[in-house]
Structure 1
Amino acid sequence: FGNYISRFFKWEYYLKLINVKLHKIDSLSIFMSGLVMSITPGKMGELLKSYLVKQVNGTSISKTAPIVFAERATDFLSLTILALVGAYFYDYGKNIIILIGVIIITGLIIISNKNLFYRIISLFTNIRFISKHILKISTAYESSAKLLSLTPLVLMTLLSLISWGFECFGYYLILTNFQTQIDIFWAFFSYSFATIVGALSMLPGGLGVTEGSLTLMLVQKGLSEHNAFAATFIVRAVTLWFAVLVGAISLLFYQKRFGKIIIESNTVKSEKTQN
């Protein structure tokens, strides 16, 4: 639960940064409902939160959608830091992690430089989709630039390190039940590395790839295939699938309060249940 608490603090911080006002109970309800989309590739399905915010207070989706992007960017940055330290210490997967780090930093540089960003966008204005949605793109960019400016980026990356630290520590606690000599530092590294590889696969929840990476790394450390599979199954059950379950329950409660969610032509309509 420490993971969820720190992530909620991040969500609240970002909302405040772009001047989106929500009652705490509504904000928590929306945040928890978004967890149901943890299974989507890169968790980008958590854009659902932007639809829910619009339903509650009318804030445009283009204004709040960058929060999800900022959450993922700081998640990737923190995971890359954890994995990079381990990659050098254990001499495992350094090139992959360095490449990921370079890509993330390049993207952040582009976003942080307004002139550079709009120059790049201007190259694609002849594309109908871009020209049609240029206002929404500009709104989304302004929010993104604010969310990923230096101070918020550093603070939220540190908070993400804490958040992922809780998950990595949970993984280590699971491993201690298998009478293995794996130390806590390797647990942090291997979990971070496998999570990144799974996310890059763009499969829903990194399914198959994350599990395969974790199992392989455990076998390489001397665990039997049976124990490696069991440890992987448990950690995924109490992280990914537990989050999806919590999100599904939260979404049901949300709909009882605000009505059913209908996503149609980029709009959200509320159908209040008839008494």
Structure 2
Amino acid sequence: MISETDVRFPDIPFRKTAILIIVGLVLYFGYLYLVGFETVKEQLARVNLWLVLLAVAVSLCSNVFHAAGWWVLLRHLKYKISLGWAYIIYLSSIFFTNLVPSAAVSGEIGKIYFIQKSVPDTRVDRTFAAGLFSRLLEVVPTATGAILGVAYLALYYDLPLWAITLCAMIAVSIAMGALFVLAISMNVKLLQSTANAVLGVVAAVFKGRNMDGVRTKVGALVTQYDRSIREISASKTLVVKSLALIYAAWFFDVSVAYIAFAAIGYDIPVGVVMTIYSMMVLVTLIPAFIPGGLGYVDGLMNVLYSLAGVNKNDAFSGTFVIRFVTLWFLTAVGGLCTLYLARATGKERPGP
């Protein structure tokens, strides 16, 4: 049995993270230089701050639904956790995801850690199963929006072939990757084989290290996890409920991007903002080892908006507001939630 003592607080390699943030900032300021700092100053001076605050509020609301999509799975597993507590843990996971780029793995580890430390009568395998399943469901609306959006842009906008191809490849690749992970997670033999293969690579790298204890724990976790994931996926009503909440969250996410452009006084087509925002989310799922995709995600969004007919200055301003809300603000809020949780874990928490 994998116990609570096997769960460790997700480490943040501060020196490495700081270096990667600097790399991202260099890329970002390189882009600002190309735009022109005076132009940037003029563009940001006319931003409607009330609409930026509205975007912030909508973003916080969207994460309530993201957290709820995960929370209903935990409640199905008989976890005594309130939606408010799940929301705080979910916001904390955003902090880890943005600071430790690892395809959201660090965020999931953070969620597992705080659940195990603060919620009574939990098991690691069940917590992990709920987290992975909700993460896979998160891909559904985003990949769907991106694929439909690429088709929309191809039909109604004169985008170059390379841009359409790139967007389609990213959307389809992420969707196929999610399906692959789902297939593995639902097949205990395949999951065990994958785990053994990974452990084999680790053993080859760390020669001379006894891996028997690790193999035993991993084997136990796989067996326990298989039962938990099947218990969750067996309830079609539960899956539909969770997916509906996640779709609602995605709607609010896209609304944040639309409001961001409204804040700079630009009336952008909903189809364009839906497509490019969905692409941004999918790109951040690709491990690139730069916290929050700083620099390269911003650049890609600007390029795509420009190709869709948004002028360079408005594309920059809209992207800046979007990233301010979805990256900088949410990371800061997640950091505060992490500090709170780190102090509060171990204390008895109220139930639902």
User: TM-score w.r.t. structure 1 length?
Assistant: 0.80
Q: Secondary structure at the match of 1:133?
A: helix
Pair 1:68 & 2:131 matched: yes
Q: State whether residues 38 and 243 of structure 1, in contact with CA within 8 Å, keep that contact through their aligned partners in structure 2.
A: no
Pair 1:48 & 2:110 matched: yes
1:212-251 correspondence to structure 2 within 5 Å: 212-251=299-338
Which residue of 19, 22, 31 corresponds with 2:81?
Answer: 22
**For the structure 1 residues 132 and 61, does the alpha-carbon distance in structure 2 shift closer, same or farther, using more than 3 Å as the test?**
closer
Q: Secondary structure at the match of 2:112?
A: helix
Give the AA of the match of 1:49: K
| Deviations 1:98-120, CA, capped at 9 Å, x for gaps | 23322322332332344554566
Which residue of 242, 265, 275 corresponds with 1:156?
Answer: 242
Give the AA of the match of 2:229: S
Identity among equivalent pairs (%): 20
| Deviations 1:92-150, CA, capped at 9 Å, x for gaps | 32243223322322332332344554566577787744445211232233333444457
Q: State whether residues 65 and 245 of structure 2, in contact with CA within 8 Å, keep that contact through their aligned partners in structure 1.
A: yes
| Deviations 1:9-43, CA, capped at 9 Å, x for gaps | 11221211222223555444433433322413333
- The structure with the largest alpha-carbon Rg is 2
2:222 corresponding residue in structure 1: 137
Tell me, in whole angstroms, the C-alpha distance in 2 between the residues paired with 1:253 and 1:125: 35
Which residue of 247, 252, 258 corresponds with 1:166?
Answer: 252
Tell me, in whole angstroms, the C-alpha distance in 2 between the residues paired with 1:98 and 1:25: 34
Give the AA of the match of 1:236: R
Tell me, in whole angstroms, the C-alpha distance in 2 between the residues paired with 1:44 and 1:115: 23
Tell me, in whole angstroms, the C-alpha distance in 1 between the residues paired with 2:326 and 2:198: 40
**For the structure 1 residues 99 and 35, does the alpha-carbon distance in structure 2 shift closer, same or farther, using more than 3 Å as the test?**
closer
1:2 corresponding residue in structure 2: 61
1:104-123 correspondence to structure 2 within 5 Å: 104-114=178-188, 116-118=190-192
Tell me, in whole angstroms, the C-alpha distance in 2 between the residues paired with 1:202 and 1:66: 25
User: TM-score w.r.t. structure 2 length?
Assistant: 0.64
Tell me, in whole angstroms, the C-alpha distance in 2 between the residues paired with 1:76 and 1:26: 24
Q: State whether residues 3 and 166 of structure 1, in contact with CA within 8 Å, keep that contact through their aligned partners in structure 2.
A: yes
RMSD across aligned C-alpha pairs, in angstroms? 2.9
Q: Secondary structure at the match of 1:22?
A: coil
| Deviations 1:62-107, CA, capped at 9 Å, x for gaps | 4312333223211122210110111122223224322332232233
| Offset, 1:189 | 0.8
Count of matched residue positions in the alignment of Structure 1 and Structure 2? 260
Q: Secondary structure at the match of 2:73?
A: helix
Which residue of 146, 151, 176 corresponds with 2:262?
Answer: 176
1:262 corresponding residue in structure 2: none
| Offset, 1:154 | 4.0
Tell me, in whole angstroms, the C-alpha distance in 1 between the residues paired with 2:182 and 2:316: 37
1:197 corresponding residue in structure 2: 283
Q: State whether residues 149 and 275 of structure 2, in contact with CA within 8 Å, keep that contact through their aligned partners in structure 1.
A: yes
Which residue of 109, 122, 131 corresponds with 1:59?
Answer: 122
1:264 corresponding residue in structure 2: none
Q: State whether residues 112 and 148 of structure 1, in contact with CA within 8 Å, keep that contact through their aligned partners in structure 2.
A: no
Structure 1 unaligned spans of 5+: 260-269, 271-275
Q: Secondary structure at the match of 1:200?
A: coil
